[in-house]
Structure 1
Amino acid sequence: MNNVITFQLLGIPRILLNNEEQFFAFAKVNALLYYLAVNGSVSREMAASLLWENKNTQTAKKNLRNTIYQANKVLQSDVIICPNRNMLRLNPALDIQTDIARFLEAPLAHLALYQGEFLQGFYLKSGEEFDLWVSKIRMQCEQVYLKTCYQKIEEGLSLDAIEDTEEHLKQLIERDEFEEKNYQLLMRLYQQDNRPSKVIETYYQLVNVLDKELGIQPSPQSQQIYQEVVAKDRNERKIKHFLRNSNHFLGRIDEIKQLEAYFANCLTYREVGALLLVGDTGIGKRTLARQVLANQTQDYQIVTANCFREEATDSLLPWRNILDGLGDLVIQHRLLSTKAWRAALKQCFPTATVFQEHVAHPFVKDHTSLLVSFVVDILQNLADIKALVVLIEDCHWMDEDSLTLLQRVMNQLSHYPIAFVLTKHLGTTPQLGTCLNALISQGRLESIRLEPFTRQESSAYIRSQLESQSVTEQDIDHLYQASQGIPFFLSEYTQTLLRKEKFVPLTPAIKAKLGLKLANLNSRDDELLHYLSCCRGAVPLNTLAQLMLLPLEEVIEMVDSLCHYYILMEENKGEEVLISFRQRIIQLYCYDRLSLSKRRLLHGQIAKRLEELLPLLPPSPTLLEAIAYHYKESRQVIKALEYNLNYLDATLQFQHELFPIYSKSVGLVEKSDRDNHRLMERQFDKIRQSIADLELTYDNNRDFQQLLIRFAYLEGRYDIRTGRYQEGIKNIQKVIALATELKQTSFLLEGYRQLIHYCIQVENKPEMRYYTSLSLEAAVSANHFEAIAISLRLKGLYHLIVGELDEAEHLLQQSIDFFKVTPGLQANYAIQIAAALDYLGEIAQIRYQFEKAVAYQKEAISLTDNKPAELSVSIFYIGLGISYFYLGHFDQAEQILSLAKEALANHIYPWKETQLEIYLAMIQWKKGHYQPALSLLGHRETLMSRYRNPRDKGLVFYLMAVVKYQLIRQGDTLSQQEKEMVARLLTESFEYYYEIASTNLNPYRDCHLVSELNDLRQQLSAKS
């Protein structure tokens, strides 16, 4: 059997003997065989110099003989023979086959033999001449291979032999990934086969290779093929995707009609204009635009651009997006070739290349006119083919250069069916405002403002979405409040109901939307939002800076940025700037992102810092309540209970003390007194529940026990002020007993003071004497300056009530002197001084020293900064009005008392209200206007029952006696209707009303009324 020797030289070289690869000890054996396999023969000298160029002739020839021996030995035959002494050749008698010979003889037929470059990977040490020979043959074979491949590809393209041609091209690309021609041919093949996705894939394969390895872009020819394919369908697919609207759309009928009329007018009148859609996040601007544009595709071709806040400083970037869309249409309609389009863009944007996307390029001022002309020309040519809509979304993020270009382009367009549609947020940048104002002044801008759905619209939307599923009005209210009427949120919530899932305000889609809105905030902004999300309401700017331990200037800058992004909003409240979330849902989202441990940490930090800020911030019950809330959320329950009691204490001190101790404002919650009353009732209930929850765990805790005493004191004080005397006295006596046992002097003094207030309200003189004495003794024993001064005033009031005017005056003056020791004390205790002055004014009234009384009362009012709305100050106005009444200055008295009445209207437990109403009625009575007094008697039971105060009853019966007297003695001054009304209201005798009035009126404080009744009685007796 004859041996078959095979040389595979194209690709990784191999020498096979009967299909088995043979290996040689030296690479130069291979090299000699490879050379002979290609050339057939070689001279000994040539072979020796080729393989051993650095050896002398004798050594080289010796090595050559050994190499020939090794080759023949391994191949088991005389493969290399010597026809003569000078020549070497392969033995022609042997069956020797080479792939290179067959390939070079018929490359088209044997193209598959080319498995790689000639002698791929073979290296001969110190063989430069051999390497030169290899390179020469390698280049020759490669050129033949490429020429043959391209020939075969051309044949395949003409014969639609797609698969074979594709395979050849992929092989070419694999062999030389930097040869663009191969990519271009493959792209053409895919283009011919209508496979645009493969064209794009191949193109980006080329882009990635060139960019990664060489840092260059594809050639214009490659780009042209790509653009031809992409432009064919990109715009249609983009618009189809853009118009896809997964949200069910409902409502906005008026807005839809306005949009459709705008598009219809554009087609009819061929006038270029702009329509602006304005609304908040999630309001439905995009949905509305897509809803209407989906019905306009038959008449309009659409180009869109989105503006982003991250790119607001990138000059003309929105117009680059618009020009991308216009470029697709231009190439699709063959108005320009890709090369010409790119050249035109490059001329307008000389600093950029066409495919350089999302890079900030400064607006080249010198090319402004050129760019305007270019855009106008393109728009006009496209509009001649088919009407055009240019939609620019979120135009509030457009840079100034883009806005300038938009304005100039619109100025030069006329009589073309081109409709610009802009959407924007509620805010407007100065640059955008200038642009819009210019368009408005030209009559080229219409505007549609999208408002949140009303309660009725939200209900209709929810019911339409739920179809047959029932929903209660309470559910609708809940969804409406949670969504704030924002359609996107409503849609999410109704989908939750449809799936019968538990309601959560933050659905995955809402989280995703809000996540995108907040995605690009820095860590400092996030920190600010974290702090703010932990707070239940708006936070003063200064407080926010103090919470974050940052300079106010830095926080202002952060807040300004977040307001610009429509995440936060500012609002003025007095001298404060309050910061809050623009939408409640954003606050929920920011809070939801916090881990449980982070929430507790932040709440604890906020509570601690607010506590530290208490001496620096304006005093406010709201602040105390906020501290309690944050301590509760940080699970510091004892501190939370303490500050809940602080909140109650501050509110009750202002609302339910006749004269609050300190003149500085406690800063009431911004509610009417009735609202505060309901709020405090809820607060009491909440604290009772908290105490019940904590008792088992903290029953032996001393701090907790002291808080229990304090709560009993606050509850008792509240009950007494609101007329629930039995419950109040019980609680206060409990406080006094515990305070005595625990030596808590402050609670002991406060307990006495509350019992004295009870005695004042019900005119209980014996107990008032007892408790005022105890209070003063306890204050002196404790050396408590403040309590001594207050006890002196209260004891002075007792002596006033019992008619011991000199002693009362002395004690009241002592109280004033205590508080006037220093100017600082006088300022701090202004209300206490004013209260004593008011009582001195009352003493002057009793003594008929009305001018002196007016002086005292005016001084009291001046000390309290003329704030009649405050309960204690209103009392001073009542006293002043009564003084004017007895001076006969009825108009002035009426003016002062009316002011006090207006102030008391917001108080649910207005002190001295009965006295105020009686004197106002008497002023009208003396002026001959009887109806106010008669109307007042119509609800006399209410006036008498509020505090069960004898004086209130005496005042009402005083008025009844006066009216009865008028009916008896001067009945002709009353109208018939008034007479009938008096007869119906007053069925008893004058004596009856006189006796009750005299019994209940204080003979000293009401001496003028008692005296008047006695005079009326005498007059009636004299007549009879």
Structure 2
Amino acid sequence: MKEISVHLLGNPEIWAGGEKISFPYKKAEAFFYYLCVKKKVSREEVICLLWGDEDETTGKKKLRDAVYQVKRILGKEVLFTWGHTEIALNPEFPLKTDWDEASENGEGLWGAGFLEHFYIKNCYEFEEWTQEVRRRLSEKQAQLARERLKEAAGRNDAAMLQKYGNILLSGDPYNEELYFELMNLYAQNGSYTMAIRLYSDLQKLLLEELDEKPSRRLTELFHRIYTMKEAVSCEGAMAELPFVGRKRELYRVNCFLAEEGVETESAKSVGCMAVSGENGSGKTAFLEQGARLAAGNGMLVLKSSCYKQGEEFYLSPWNDIFQELYQLVAKDGEAKEEGKAGGESRREELKKNLSCFLNGSGGEEVSRMTYPMVEKLALDLLEFLTEKSRILLVFDDIQWMDSMSCQLLNRLLHLLGREKLLLLCSMSREEEARAMGALEPVLLRDGVEILRLSPFTREETDELIRKYLPELSGEEEKKAEIYRATDGNAFFLKELLNLIREKGYTLEKSRRTNYVIQARLSGLSARERDVLGAMSVFPEKAGVEELELLLPDTDRLSLLRVLESLQERFLIREVLVGWNVHYQFVHRVFQEYVCERQSNGKRMLYHQMLAACYEEAAAQNRRAALLPLVIYHYEHCHNQIKACQYRIEWLKEYYTLINENFPVLHWSLSDLDESLRVTPPADEMIRLAGELVGLEGNTEEIRRMKLEMNYIRGRYDIAHGNYSQGLSHIEEGIRLSRELSDQRMLLSCYKQQIFYGIQVEDLERVETYTEIGLSLAAEGLDREERLSAEQWIEQGPSDTGQSPEDISPGKGGMPGWAKGTGTEEKRRRECLEEFGTFLRLRGWYNLHTGQYGRAERALRLAGAVFEGLGNEYGAGQAACLNYIGDVYRLRGQPDRAVSFYKEAIGLVEKEPVIIGLGQFYANTGQALYQSGDKEGAEQYLKMAASYLRKNGCIWGLERVEACLALLFLEQGDPERAKEHYRTGRELSDKIRNPQTRKILETVGLRLKEEEKKTEGKEGKKTAL
């Protein structure tokens, strides 16, 4: 049954098995298209749609013929008919339409109309239907494009903004509101050129088509954006550092400065904009940029700064402004005198009053100048100047403004209104409440908008480095280190980049940075300094319990009060991990500064206390997440032996999970992702392991460390196909295990020899090490148990007929296992674990040598061993079920095999990471392919490929790629088959698995046959 592909968007086409299908007449084709959209129709509606001008008998006859033509051309199963009433598409028939796919994901809707250039003469009802579908399609396109436009704006994605903006404009090219919205979005995202170009396109369109001009509102927006483009420049100078990535914020300032005010989703029409941010975020420079924008818009800008030292001196921030006002009035007077204009008396009076206020030249008059007189003077001056232009007042650090200055400012804003006077000010995040109190009268009238400057993102930091230090553009690790060191703070970033430019690459703190940190910490109490000192030794965050351990003289309530005080100063912040509250420094540079200035003795003592605490906790609950913390603190108190021991423990457990298909874990890894945050990456861990292998000395402790590291390195290399190097490490591990009489590690090294043999199907190696390992593991069991197990494997039924859930001790005649107590029980569990593992590996060997009965019995017995050991051995039990599934698949019973595979999947699917799950998916896919379920096979094989890639496992992935190539060949898709074939070949050359090579050889031959067929068809066409 060939798959049918129907294209309804654009020029309609029907394809079956790679060939284009044609209908003998258009109404039969139109009927099929109508059915593809509706899925189920009544005969009456189709007759009315296509043969409405015919009588009923003729219409029914022609519909029957159309149904016949569809079935004849596409297949009888394509349609269902219910008597004489309804017709429907068969949902089980392999038919796909671009209409359905586009409706699901939306992407296919762009740029194509419904049934374009498909027309039936004198069939008006069908034409009306197609027009209605096109209208709905256009509405859906516009709705979807608007949603995607908002998403693109949120991501600051200029390319997607342009794409979806063009889609909206293509459907409504004269809508000025749409142009206004798009220009605003472009400008908010810093794409000023795109906004200007959009205005130019509209201007040209209106002039050519309608001989009109854009509206005044749109023209004003154009001028604002053009002014902003000219005023904002981020290239080059470090003075403009904070404006890399501040495009949205600056556009909000631009909207705020507009004469009539512009209300957008992110801004409202107000008379005051307050810029808030942490120290060093670039607030002062941002105000300077806002002042430049205002000047570019023709506004008069008056600037002043407030200082903490001057908050007790009344009207001190206004002195600079009155000085500038005096110069402006004097300059305006000279211009008027040259122009012989009137109003001289008013100007002279203002000039005289200003001079009295500034220079004290009025004698007793000045001494008697009261607040109402100052307010009147300021109001008169500003009213006089606003006759020509609007005014922007700019105050930096407004939280330090004295009360009289605040009163004057609020009064002026109220009396003059935003039409004449605007206020742009900055305030520190720590003093935001105080600043808002000063502006309370304006705040109560809803006249204040707060704009918060956040630290730079990683992308913005990279942009700045690229512009200021282009030689570091390709140094990804160095750029990441710069961002980690500064946390995106503009001041720290600027200082560090200056230092790098001066000295070369370094992460040290500049003198100015140290002064700023020192000033921030200068007002702290002794207890607050102690808490910060304790927090500074943690790699990331600290819990209250750990801080109590380091600060035993501080009770919990007092400690929480200190932590709250430090949060109010924005030195630390709360971090929630589940329901647990932790604390960390807001900036890494503060943490480093505090840590560096503690005595070495105190630092080492803190690290020793924390290392011992985490070590005890790790031993109690076996949480692997604690191991990196134990390692970190032992390293920082210079206890290298302990650090190495725990690093080895962590490496063993980590790579057991990563490199083994069916791991038996001795630590809880449910929070593995959390622990990896303070763990070096794999390459770094392997490098450290290599250093430990090279340690000099022959003490038992050093030899044991070398044994562990050789085992870890060997296992890692074998899993990644580096066989010669991996086997060399394992052979060394076997030698050291025998020297140290370490039976557990010796068995582990034997297993790696077996795993290598499995990967390359070296059956002789598998048999040799399996039998040696099984004998060694069985030494810890009772003689009767060993004999009972061997007897059951040799003499048990060849086909038990049991279902997957019947693997339990005692079932089907299988032996049970006695339990001991205390130390004896622990030793027995270890022996049973190894015995079960080697028994499973013997089952694999029997399976691949065609001894299916012995294989199944060995695997069932191994599964019973693992089940008896408990839930933590679920991966081992699942592996046995998987291999039993292989037994039935190779016996030609794929349906039964699938039941075992799915049972295995169910056992481990909820585990954190089990690499073998990818193998289970792959085997299920193979069995479903064997049973003829191609759709199910594709689903499971794709799941296997995704899972194996996600977890970095290449063993087994080559087989999945080979099977997918074979599957797509069966489905008539040679191009996708080639793609998977190439990937499978690349992986197979490294893994060298014979079974996979056979599958790939089959695929290669079939692909060559397909190519010959294609060349033959093309040759015939050329001849014709």
- Specify if TM > 0.5: yes
> Which SS does the other structure have where 1:954 is aligned?
helix
Structure 1 gaps of 5+ residues are 1-246, 308-317, 345-373, 464-469, 981-1024
User: Is 1:930 paired with 2:983?
Assistant: no
Give yes or no for the alignment of 1:657 onto 2:664: no
Q: 1:545 deviation in Å?
A: 7.1
**Counterpart mapping for 1:381-530 below 5 A:** 381-384=377-380, 412-415=414-417, 420-425=423-428, 439=443, 442=446, 445=449, 447=451, 449=453, 452=456, 454-457=461-464, 482-483=485-486, 486-493=489-496, 496=499, 505-523=508-526, 525-530=528-533
Q: How many residues align?
A: 670
Query: What is the CA–CA distance in structure 2 between the aligned matches of 1:979 and 1:710, rounded to whole Å?
Result: 64
> Residue deviations 1:802-840, cap 9 Å, x none?
12222221221222212222xxx4321111111111111
Q: CA 1:956/1:258 → structure 2, altered by over 3 Å: closer, same or farther?
A: closer
Partner of 1:1009: none
Change (3 A) 1:794 1:507: same
1:687 matched residue in structure 2: 689
Deviation at 1:596, TM superposition (A): 2.5
Alpha-carbon distance between aligned partners in 1 of 2:912 and 2:933, rounded to the nearest angstrom? 20
What is the CA distance between 1:638 and its match in structure 2?
A: 1.0
Q: CA deviation at 1:747?
A: 0.9
- Pick from 807, 810, 828 the counterpart of residue 872 of structure 2: 828
Which AA in structure 2 matches 1:930?
P
Matches within 5 A, 1:582-981: 582-615=586-619, 619-620=623-624, 623-662=626-665, 666=669, 679-689=681-691, 692=694, 695=696, 699-782=697-780, 783=828, 784-821=831-868, 825-866=869-910, 870-939=914-983, 941-963=985-1007
Quote the residue 1:534 is aligned against: 537
Residues 455 and 901 of structure 1, relative CA distance in 2, 3 Å threshold: closer
**TM-score normalized by the length of structure 2:** 0.55
Structure exhibiting the larger radius of gyration computed from Cα positions: 1
Determine the C-alpha separation between the residues in 2 that align with 1:552 and 1:646.
Answer: 34
Q: 1:676 to 1:495 in 2, by over 3 A?
A: closer
Superposed CA offset, 1:133-172 (max 9, x none)? xxxxxxxxxxxxxxxxxxxxxxxxxxxxxxxxxxxxxxxx
In structure 2, distance between residues paired with 1:323 and 1:389 = 18
Deviation for aligned residue 1:592: 1.6
| CA shift for structure 1 position 707 | 1.1
Residues 302-333 of structure 1 show CA distances to partners (whole Å, capped at 9, x for unaligned) of: 573549xxxxxxxxxx9867667679999957
In structure 2, how many angstroms separate the alpha carbons of the residues matched to 1:379 and 1:554?
A: 48
Deviation at 1:775, TM superposition (A): 1.2
TM-score (norm 1): 0.55
Contact 1:272/1:444 (8 A) holds in 2? yes
Counterpart contact for 1:505–1:585, Cα < 8 Å? no
Whole-angstrom distance in 1 between the partners of 2:398 and 2:1017: 72
Identify which range, 631-640 or 861-870, moves more after superposition: 861-870
The answer as to whether partners of 1:458 and 1:480 remain within 8 angstroms in 2 is no
Determine if contact 1:272/1:415 at 8 Å carries over to the other structure: no
Cα gap change, 1:261 to 1:671, in 2 (>3 Å):
closer
- The residue type paired with residue 660 of structure 1 is P
- The correspondence of residues 555-574 of structure 1 with structure 2, limited to 5 A, is 561-570=565-574
Any idea what SS the aligned residue of 1:829 has? helix
Contact 1:534 1:602 in 2 (8 A): yes
State the partner residue of 1:249: 239
**How many angstroms apart in 1 are the aligned matches of 2:853 and 2:645?**
44
Which deviates more, 420-429 or 318-327?
Answer: 318-327
CA contact (8 A) 1:272 1:410 kept: no
* Residue 487 (structure 1) shift: 4.3
Contact 2:604 2:636 in 1 (8 A): yes
Q: Deviations for 1:889-908, whole angstroms, at most 9, x for unmatched residues?
A: 22122112212211222344
Cα distance in 1 for partners of 2:678, 2:493 equals 33
2:209 paired residue number: none
Contact 1:663–1:864, Cα closer than 8 Å, also in 2: no
Cα distance, 1:765–1:512 mapped onto 2, change above 3 Å: same
Task: Indicate the larger mover: 507-516 or 520-529.
Answer: 520-529
The percent identity for this pair of structures is: 23
**Counterparts in 2 of 1:556 and 1:438: CA distance versus 1, 3 Å:** farther
* CA drift at 1:793: 1.4
Q: Distance in 1 between matches of 2:546 and 2:680?
A: 28
SS in 2 for 1:635: coil
Find 1:281's aligned residue among 279, 282, 285: 279
Change (3 A) 1:819 1:481: closer
Deviations 1:472-496, CA, capped at 9 Å, x for gaps: 9879958677555644335544665
Say whether the 8 Å CA contact 1:831–1:864 is kept in structure 2: yes
Residue 979 of structure 2 aligns to a residue in which SS? helix
What is the CA–CA distance in structure 2 between the aligned matches of 1:552 and 1:795, rounded to whole Å? Answer: 59
Aligned equivalents of 2:501 and 2:683: distance in 1? 39
> Once the 2 structures are TM-superposed, how far is the Cα of residue 750 of structure 1 from its aligned partner?
1.0
Q: Distance in 2 between matches of 1:867 and 1:384?
A: 76
Q: Give the conservation status (yes or no) of the 8 Å contact 1:868–1:899.
A: no
1:652 Cα deviation after fit: 1.0
In the aligned structure 2, how far is the partner of 1:840 from the partner of 1:402? 88
Q: CA deviation at 1:925?
A: 2.5
Contact 1:458–1:490 (Cα < 8 Å) also in 2: no
CA displacement at 1:508 relative to structure 2: 3.0
Tell me if the contact between 2:396 and 2:427 (Cα under 8 Å) persists in the aligned partners: yes
CA separation of 1:773 and 1:409: change in aligned 2, threshold 3 A? farther
Q: Counterpart of 1:586 in structure 2: which amino acid?
A: F
Letter in 2 for 1:637: Q
Alpha-carbon distance in 1 for matches of 2:405, 2:969 = 73
2 CA distance for matches of 1:676 and 1:513? 29
Query: How far off is 1:722 after superposition?
Result: 1.8
How big is the shift at 1:656?
Answer: 0.7
1:910 CA drift (Å): 2.4
Question: Which AA in structure 1 matches 2:491?
Answer: F
Letter in 1 for 2:840: R
Instruction: Give secondary structure in 1 for the equivalent of 2:991.
Output: coil
8 Å CA contact 1:661–1:829 kept in 2: the answer is yes
What is the Cα deviation at residue 757 of structure 1? Answer: 1.0
Change (3 A) 1:804 1:574: farther
Runs (5+) with no aligned partner, structure 2 = 1-236, 261-268, 323-353, 386-390, 781-827
CA contact (8 A) 1:383 1:418 kept: no
